[in-house]
């Protein structure tokens, strides 16, 4: 009986003194993401993306593109320009394109409006393109 009373008093007290988790703070975002947000004319979203873990940023950005046709169109224009200038894309851009292909071929795709075949072909070509460092792409853009 005494044991039950002690447990009834001590357990809630212990739970009340356990510190609550600290909310995550903003972090540094990938420069390829900054470049992509600029390309889709949404650099203000960088603040939101700073709260997303870097390993999840490609999926989050691909999800944004899958839901925003204008952003997807602008991003594909940027990718085509990078391919033309540097004969490749960043690894981050590759992951975004691969994630888009996966999103559009998953059961989840029924909630998304699929892009036209030309855009899907562009996305697939980007997945197959070579990898180039962002610094090299930026240096070759001006030429």
Q: What is the pLDDT of residue 109?
A: 80
Tell me which residues of the chain have a pLDDT lower than 50: none
Convert the pLDDT of each residue in 43-84 to its tens digit: 999 999 999 999 999 999 999 999 999 999 999 999 999 999
- Domain positions in the chain are 26-141
Cα distances from 65 to residues 8, 39, 72, 82, in angstroms, run 52, 12, 5, 18
pLDDT of residue 112: 86
**Burial class for 90, CB neighbours closer than 10 Å (0-12, 13-18, 19+):** buried
Q: Note the Cα 68 to chain centre separation in Å.
A: 14
């Amino acid at each position: 009986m005494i044991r039950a009373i002690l447990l009834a008093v001590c357990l809630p007290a212990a739970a009340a003194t356990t510190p609550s988790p600290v909310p995550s703070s903003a972090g540094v975002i990938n420069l390829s993401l900054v470049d992509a947000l600029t390309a889709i004319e949404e650099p203000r979203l960088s603040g939101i993306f700073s709260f997303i873990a870097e390993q999840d940023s490609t999926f989050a950005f691909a999800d944004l593109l899958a839901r925003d046709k204008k952003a997807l169109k602008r991003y594909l224009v940027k990718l085509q320009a990078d391919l033309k200038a540097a004969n490749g894309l960043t690894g981050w851009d590759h992951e975004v394109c691969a994630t888009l292909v996966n999103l559009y071929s998953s059961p989840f795709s029924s909630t998304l409006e699929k892009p036209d075949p030309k855009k899907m072909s562009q996305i697939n070509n980007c997945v197959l393109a070579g990898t180039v460092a962002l610094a090299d792409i930026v240096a070759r853009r001006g030429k």
